């Protein structure tokens, strides 16, 4: 999960993440949520240590 100004988060981190993910598999969805509910982070899947490398 990336937090910050909505325009800044949408512009670079989501596009970079999309590019990296498409190199190792199929990107199914990209979504920027400007003001997510406080509990959204709790339900999102966590990256494994291997995926972070």
pLDDT at residue 40 tops 70:
yes
Q: Which residues of 16-28 are buried (b: 16+ CB within 10 A; e: fewer)?
A: eeeeeeeeeeeee
| pTM of this prediction exceeds 0.85 | no
Higher pLDDT, 13 or 47: 13
At 43 the pLDDT is 84
Alpha-helix runs per DSSP H in 1-53:
6-11, 13-24, 40-43, 49-52
Q: Where are the domains of the chain?
A: 6-52
Q: Could you report the per-residue pLDDT of 13-34, keeping only the tens digit for each?
A: 778 888 888 898 887 877 777 7
What is the pLDDT confidence band of residue 49, given thresholds at 50, 70 and 90? low
Q: Tokens 């969805």 sit at which residue?
A: 29
Question: Mean pLDDT, the chain, as a whole number?
Answer: 75
């Amino acid at each position: 999960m990336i937090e910050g100004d909505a325009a800044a988060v949408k512009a670079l981190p989501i596009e970079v993440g999309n590019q990296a993910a498409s190199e190792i598999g199929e990107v199914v969805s990209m979504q920027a949520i400007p003001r997510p509910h406080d509990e959204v982070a709790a339900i999102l899947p966590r990256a494994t240590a291997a995926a972070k490398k």
